[in-house]
Amino acid sequence: MSERKIERVSRGRKLTSKEAARYRKLRAEIEAEKPAIKALVQRRIAEMKDLARVFSELKRAREDQGLSLSDMQDKTGIDRSALSKLETGQRDNYTVETILRYADAVGKRIVFELADR
C-alpha cells in the first residue's frame, strides 16, 4: 500500500511551539497505533469472509432443496429482502439467532469454533 502525502492546511498563523509540539506528539501516537489498527482490520476482514462463506453454503442448501426466498420467509419468519441481503453479503448487522433460524430451515446446524488468532 502506498503512502499518501498529507497536505498541511495553514490556519493563517504560525503555530506556537507548544501547539507544534502537541501536534507532533499526536502524530507520533497515531503512527504508533497504525499497526494494531491495521491488524484488527485484517482480522475482521478474514472473519467477514468466513461468514460470507457460511451464507453462501446456506444459500446453496436452500437452492438445492428448491426453496425460494418466500419459502424461507415462511419457514424462518425473516423478511425475504433481509434473507436476500444476508445471502449476498449486503447485510452485516444480523444476530446469531438469525443465522441459526436460517440454518435450521434448510436442515443444517451452525458449528461455532474458538480458534487462536
pLDDT of 94 reads 82
User: d(Cα 35, Cα 42) in Å, to the nearest integer?
Assistant: 11
Query: pTM, whole model, 2 decimals?
Result: 0.62
Residues 44, 111, 113: CA angle, nearest 5 degrees: 50
Q: What is the mean pLDDT of the chain?
A: 87
Lowest model confidence (mean pLDDT) among 15-19, 47-51, 78-82, 99-103: 47-51
Residue 117 has pLDDT above 80, yes or no: no
- Domains, in order of start, for the chain: 17-105 (1.10.260.40)
User: d(Cα 35, Cα 59) in Å, to the nearest integer?
Assistant: 36
pLDDT of 7 reads 67
Helix, strand, coil percentages, rounded to 5, for the chain: 65, 0, 35
Q: Are 58 and 110 in contact (CB under 8 A)?
A: no
